[in-house]
Amino acid sequence: MKQYIIILSCLISFALNTYANDNVSLKAQADSAYSHEQYDKAIKLYEKIAQKTTNYKIFYNLGCSYYRTDNIAKSILWLERASRLNPSDEDVQFNLVLVRNKTIDKITPRHEMIIVSLFKKLVNLMSLKSWSIVCISLFIFSFVFVSLFFFSNILSLRKIGLFMSILCIVLCIIGNICAYQQRSLARNHVNGVIMAPAVTVKSTPTESGSDLFVIHEGTRVEIKDSSMKDWLEIQIADGKIGWIQKNTLELI
């Protein structure tokens, strides 16, 4: 029995190493193609890797490659996917704004209260992984300072231990709220990018519905209702709502 377990472990290890080496090789080829301005080749290679991974840097590179081929809609799609995985990355956000400025639709987002905007900025200050590391670290530090408070014979150190333990616990709670909110938004808010050159948004999920407004490729939309077979109810940044056909959009 032990021999079978050892053999199985070796096979799994070999498969994982082969998989990792394959991805590293493909990325090196893709990076080389991009640096030599062979963007179509880079796109094909990055897409192969993207099918096997959720590394936001691969999505970012793919978005930049599409931008170089003037495929704005695909560029926004992959940069949005990179931003969803790591909203705190400055390069991703900078390039996302740059590419969005190339789209036809210039939609003014709905006005938000300052406190809501500040909270969103705090939530997106770090990636989910970074928030997790920070929260675990703060939790450990709170135990250290609590120990200092209970076991130190020096009054000043006990005061410091009490204050710092409370501070660490409060910051840990805030960090967990931010991590939960970021995870919740990523899971529950389904968004997409318009891929068709122009899409007429309807008042009802039928071709005979009234025309409400027109949106163009590259526009980011939030999906409000996906229960219909061929139609989606969407909302754009300024709050307008309507129905579009599913085949005009790709999910982020």
Give the start-to-end residue ranges of the domains of the chain. 2-100, 114-188, 191-251
Please work out, in degrees rounded to the nearest 5, the angle formed at the alpha carbon of residue 76 by the alpha carbons of 93 and 39: 105
3-state secondary structure of 252: coil
pTM: 0.73
CATH number of 2-100: 3.40.50.300, 1.25.40.10, 3.40.640.10, 3.40.190.10? 1.25.40.10
Among 40-49, 101-110, 205-214, 231-240, which stretch is predicted with the lowest mean pLDDT?
Answer: 101-110
For residues 114 and 12, what is the distance between their CA atoms, to the nearest angstrom? 51
Confidence at residue 12, expressed as pLDDT on a 0 to 100 scale: 44
Q: What percent of the chain has pLDDT over 70?
A: 90
- pLDDT tens column, 48-87: 999 988 889 999 999 999 999 999 999 999 999 999 888 8
In 3-state terms, what secondary structure has residue 216? strand
Mean of the per-residue pLDDT values of the chain: 87
* Separation CA 143–CA 151 (nearest Å): 12
The token duo for 218 is 């590259």
pLDDT band at 10 (very low <50, low <70, confident <90, very high): very low
pLDDT band at 128; cut points 50, 70, 90: confident
CATH of 191-251, one of 3.40.640.10, 2.30.110.10, 2.30.30.40, 2.30.30.790: 2.30.30.40
Alpha helices in the chain (DSSP H): 2-35, 39-50, 56-68, 72-85, 90-100, 114-123, 128-151, 155-188
